[in-house]
Chains A and B, each alone.
Chain A
Amino acid sequence: MISVGGIGRAFHSAAGELGMLTTSRLIVDEVFAAAGEPGIVELRATLGRRYAVLDAVAAARLAGSPTPAPGPEAVATALRGATSLLVVGVEADALDALLPLLGGTRLGVLAVSELEVDWARCAASYGAATEVVPAADWARWAGRRAALLTFLYGRRGAATFVVPAWLRVSGPDVRTLFRTVLGWDVLGRPPDVYPRWLAETTVRDFSTVVGDA
């Protein structure tokens, strides 16, 4: 039997800084290594309803097809020509894979989250030049050669799920302010349970969507 309180606390503490998917993959891997499939079943039964991404990753593991790390090549291609990139939300695995492909692109991370985040350390994880961008300053990153990126947690028709911080920047005029408004679907499947901690939006927010449909 696993300590549900302990795992939930670790998830809540890490998800803001590592991202929902990265934290879920990490926790599912560790629980699987320590307690096998029964541990994953228990994890899903106890924490799945609270954390939809964790539930989806656990379900994929039980189905025998663990959620893969996000592939960054298509995203790098979509961002070609951009000289600055503002990221809304964090997914450590995805960004770690993407950044080496972006060369000298200026990187900013929007400092808005429902979860606890040490933004200075979070930004430092992606290189000393990464900037923490306060919520009020996001528009300063707009421009002809600027890109805006957020992570999608599955799609259902035209609907998709994003971190609530996205709602602070999205709007009908935003697509005209940036060269590329990119949605990167890192989960690849819609959540099976109500996605608390996520917000629903439409893929029409984005000029480009990358990732499994």
Chain B
Amino acid sequence: MTAPQVVLTSVLLTALAAQALIPSHRILVILCGAAVAALVASLGGVATTAVLFARVPWDVILILVGLGLLTEVLASTRVFGRLAVAFAVASRARPRRLLLLFATGMYLVSGLVNNLTALLLVLPVLLRLLRLLGVDQRFASWTLGALLVACNLGGAATPIGDFPAILLLGGGRLAFGEYLMHAGPPTAAALAAFLAVTTFVVRPDRAADDDVTVHRVALAVLRRLHRNVAIDRPLLIGALVIECGLLAAWLLVPRESGIGPELICWLGAGVALLLRPRLGEALVRHRVDIEAVLYFLGLFVMVGAVQASGVLDEAARHLAAWDAPASVRLTAFLVAAALLTGLLSAGPSMAALLGVADGLATAYDPVVVYVGLALAVCAGSSLFLTAATSGPLAEMLTDRAELRDQQGAVVRFGFRQFLPVGLLGFSVILATALGYVLLVG
């Protein structure tokens, strides 16, 4: 390896490790890392800063911002809060149904909108119900954990659900329909398997209070607390029509037409914001996730510098040259990707590994490599509470909800409480990813 390759790889790995260890300063860490990487790349003759910025996949960032704004429009209709109450009512506050309905519901929602926003609006309702029911630590851990695993799976089910899939769509590596057709069924199968094991083997509800009167009272209180939360129907209908239009356009408009998924997203988000110009202006000014934009911008600059130095190409060549059956090489790559994601979280891991996957995709079926990678990253992001951005959010909201069990003991949701759920989610999703690669590849 050349000196710039060593230094750039070290800068990338150090920044990724530091942002995972100090999540409260992750934007600062990534932006400083990007600046250092740009300096090393310039001094080492690898690439100028202008070249690194030209390599940033702006289309991916545009899709992230556009989908985020579309989610904000949907959130303004108050539909997520009403959905959460509807899930609670449909469950009749029975613990097992509650877990299954909320997990399945969040899987479906996360496939279509930014799961952080959806979680931020759905979780308070669920936490309120858990508090009213006085659930025990075990049930709370598994219910909240299952929700996060379902969010991750929903995000991986469609090309617009979460960053790793958006990266594949934006980069033109996979078409919308192609990704949907290949990733949708395995994620649904993984969710079904995860929920089946949770429900019938783990049985987190076995110690739950079975008093129908308590269930009735809890639901009645919940309904009354949300009695005046009215959905903004005209806005909701408009936003849903636009969302359907976007899905149709992503599926039907060929890339050769020059209209890429990012332009479709941009136009769709623009029309959605124009539905209520005053609200749209306020959302654009105040609700764009600038934190995510800066984070991914810094990440892309660092990964771009490493890529320009040729390290990722060499890694892919080494993997291709490894004297082992193709399935073993791909399996090893996916397991490594899943573990790395567990440590670094989904965004950095996907951005760093995509260059290696590009190399593998020349030797194997590209669809299998990319979808396998997306599933492996999904498995990794379910391993630890810190591996997905929704984890710390759920931890914070649960802390604020001050859950207590029937004996008055505080119910927590943190790294330790999530770990058993994460290990099960990781195992099931990774097994599904490997099964998919072996069956389809």
Contacts and interface: CB of A to CB of B under 8 A. Distances in A.
10 contacts: A6-B406, A9-B132, A14-B224, A17-B225, A22-B224, A31-B217, A33-B216, A34-B216, A96-B228, A127-B228
A7 B213 contact: yes
B212 to A, nearest CB: 6
A116 B214 CA distance: 20
- Chain B, interface residues (CB within 8 Å), range: 20 to 34
A30 B217 contact: yes
A3 B227 contact: no
Most A C-beta atoms less than 10 A away, residue of B131, B217, B229: B217
A127 B227 CA distance: 12
Interface in A7-61: 7, 9-10, 13-14, 17-18, 22-23, 26-27, 29-31, 33-35, 39
Interface in B202-251: 209, 211-214, 216-218, 220-221, 224-225, 227-229
A26 B133 contact: no
Contacts of B229: 124-125
B406 A34 contact: no
A213 interface: no
Given A3-B213, A6-B406, 5 more contacts: A6-B134, A9-B134, A13-B128, A22-B224, A121-B225
A2 B131 CA distance: 18
A contacts with B: majority SS: helix
A33 B213 CA distance: 9
Given A3-B209, A18-B221, A30-B220, A10 B227 contact: no
Contact of B225 (A5, A14, A34): A14
Nearest to B406: A5
A7 B225 contact: no
Contact of A3 (B128, B211, B220, B404): B211
Contacts of A26: 217, 220-221, 224
A2 B211 CA distance: 7
A141 to B, nearest CB: 23
A71 B211 CA distance: 34
B217 A7 contact: yes
A34 B133 contact: no
Contact of B209 (A6, A14, A30, A127): A6
A92 interface: yes
A10 B217 CA distance: 7
A13 B213 contact: no
B224 A10 contact: no
Contacts of A197: none
Contacts of B404: 9
Given A9-B132, A10-B132, A13-B132, A2 B224 contact: no
A1 to B, nearest CB: 9
Contacts of A22: 224
Contact of A2 (B133, B213, B218): B213
A99 to B, nearest CB: 10
A126 interface: yes
